[in-house]
Amino acid sequence: MNEIICPHCKKAFKVDEAGYADILKQVRDSEFEQQLNERLELAEQEKQNAVELAKEKVGSEMQKTAAAKDTEIQELKAKLDAGETEQKLAVTQALSAVEKERDELANELKQAKQDNDTALKLAEVNLSKELQETKAKKDAEIQDLKAKLCTNEVEQKLAITEAVSVAEKERDELKNSLKQAELEKELAEKSLKDKYETQIKDRDDTIDRLKDMKARLSTKMVGETLEQHCETEFNRIRATAFPRAYFEKDNDATTGSKGDYIFRDSDEAGTEIVSIMFEMKNESDATTTKKKNEDFLKELDKDRTEKGCEYAVLVSLLESDSELYNTGIVDVFHRYQKMYVVRPQFFLPIITLLRNAAMKSLEYKTELALVKAQNIDVTNFENDLDKFKTAFGKNYDIASRKFQTAIDEIDKSINHLQKTKDALLGTDRQLRLANDKAQDVTVKKLTRLNPTMAAKFEELKNQEQSDNK
């Protein structure tokens, strides 16, 4: 018999030679333990836990009982030392009873050990049987794994073939997509270029028309002199607006000087409504010495007085960059009475304004004659005349502001169209950048963030190289 000490409870138990040899064989068989360790570790642990729990339970109960008895013995011994003969007798009887109980407890402990040994042997037999069954299952599983491994190799080869086929198909589709995208890009670029060229041409035409319109309003007339232009403009509306008006060149130079044109208008009774002395001044852009409008005002005022005209108007293209004269009708009353400087586009408006004002003035003149006949104070007439001047000045200011507003709107339109042209021209750079980006697209860059496709293409490349070899 061989004695084995339990590593958990530190108690010894005996095993016969056959069982001991079998346990040694199981312990020493490292290959068997390596194959079945993972699968049997849990079962073995559960069995060991069950055995250990049973041992611990029995040992615990025995220790508790022995401790209780030892306590009783110590108490009785203490009484025995302090008592008399009767106490000794009682102690003897008690000791007899305790010894009897001790013997019974020893028998119970022996029986428990035997039961424990029997349970341990049964557990070892069951464990050996389970180990053999587990080994058989393990062998079967190994055979299944080998069969599955063969099957997986075939499936893997088939999957690789299918993956390569899919990769080739995707590669072809990608190439076709790139070609299609490049074609669409070229068509889009051509369409955008044609569209933008058309828009730029339209904007240029519009800008040219607006510039030409502004030039006609604020620069010398193209293809004709300023005097011819003014005469043509007046004759164009003479029959409808001024049917009884006189507008002719001033050919009377008896006083040593003469103006360009004299305008006179009368009512049906032949009473003169208004008279204007006109002077037209223009100069070529190539003229070296540039003159100013003020250089001609004194002579114009002299001609007006000598020819008996009420108003004097200088129609001038001089000082083309002057903001003062480009705003509209300029009253130079601070230098000469009833004198105005206008651009050609205000030639007809100034005649209309002065004539309409004179019509009102004619009414006042008639009333003045009536007042004089009735000995009415002239003060009322002067007040009315001041009101007329105020109203006339107000009308003049309104007309001047509206004209300036029109000029400003034209300038804004030109600036806006110029900005639109610049923006459209800027699209050429963006199209060039887009073309550069499209040309820079490669299969490698497209698959850079797609490791699966990159691996497929690499595998396909290696296979092609091996096929070429």
- Three-state DSSP at 274 gives strand
In a domain, 291, yes or no: yes
* 372's tokens: 């004089």
Whether residues 265 and 374 share a domain: the answer is yes
User: Per-residue pLDDT for 343 more than 90?
Assistant: yes
Distance of CA 36 to the CA centre of its chain: 63
Q: What whole-number distance in Å separates Cα of residue 138 and Cα of residue 443?
A: 50
Q: What is the CA radius of gyration of the chain?
A: 64
> Do 318 and 272 belong to one domain?
yes
Higher-confidence residue: 124 or 328?
328
96 CB-contact burial (10 Å; exposed 0-12 / middle 13-18 / buried 19+): exposed
Domain shared by 259 and 308, yes or no: yes
Position 43 in a domain: no
Q: How many CB atoms lie within 10 A of CB 37?
A: 11
pLDDT, residue 221, reads 45
Question: 334 and 299 in one domain?
Answer: yes
Q: How far apart are the first and last CA of the chain?
A: 75
Identify whether residues 289 and 416 lie together within a single domain: no
Q: pLDDT-derived band of residue 220, with 50, 70 and 90 as boundaries?
A: very low
351 close to 263: Cβ distance less than 8 angstroms: yes
Task: Give residues with Cβ within 8 angstroms of 455, minimum separation 6.
Answer: none
| Bridge partners of residue 280, in order along the sequence | 315
Least confident of 67-76, 312-321, 370-379, 391-400: 370-379
Does any domain span residue 191? no
Does 16 fall in a domain?
no
Q: Are residues 251 and 383 in the same domain?
A: yes
Mean predicted confidence (pLDDT) in 264-287? 83
State whether 246 and 383 are in the same domain.
yes
Is pLDDT of 437 > 90?
Answer: no
Domain boundary among the residues 328, 358, 389 is at: 389
Long-range contacts, stretch 461-464, CB < 8 angstroms, 24+ apart: 463/164
Examine the domain organization and report whether 252 and 360 are in the same domain: yes
Instruction: Tell whether 171 is covered by a domain.
Output: no
What domain range includes position 422?
Answer: 409-461
Q: Each residue of 51-97: pLDDT tens digit? A: 677 677 767 777 777 777 778 777 777 776 666 666 667 656 766 76
Residues 418 and 377 occupy one common structural domain: no
User: In whole angstroms, what is the distance from residue 381 CA to residue 360 CA?
Assistant: 12
Mean pLDDT, residues 433-455: 70
Are the CB atoms for 108 and 100 separated by under 8 Å?
no
Tell me the per-residue pLDDT of 234-266, one tens digit each, with 9 for 90 and over: 999 999 989 999 999 988 887 778 889 999 998
* Residue 106: C-alpha distances to residues 33, 66, 111, 119, 247 (Å): 40, 10, 8, 20, 160
Q: Is residue 307 one of the residues assigned to a domain? A: yes
Token pair of 90, please?
Answer: 């009682």
The HSE-up count of residue 330 (CA atoms within 13 Å, CB side) is 20
Encoded tokens for 98: 């305790």
Based on the fold, state whether residues 353 and 292 are members of the same structural domain: yes
Share of the chain above pLDDT 90, in %: 18
Distance CA 283, CA 289 (A): 10
* Whole-number Å distance between alpha carbons of 89 and 181: 119
Global pTM exceeds 0.75? no
Instruction: Let me know if residue 101 belongs to a domain.
Output: no
Number of residues in the chain: 469
Q: How many domains does the chain have?
A: 2
Question: Rounded to whole angstroms, how far apart are CA atoms 29 and 193?
Answer: 87
- Residue 456 included in any domain: yes
Answer yes or no: do 382 and 414 share one domain. no
pLDDT value at residue 222: 38
* 290 & 421 share domain: no
Distance, CA of 390 to CA of 388 (rounded, Å)? 5
What would the pLDDT profile of 138-172 be if each residue is shown by its tens digit?
Answer: 677 767 766 766 776 677 667 667 766 776 777 77
The closest of 75, 102, 68 to 91, measured between CA atoms, is 75
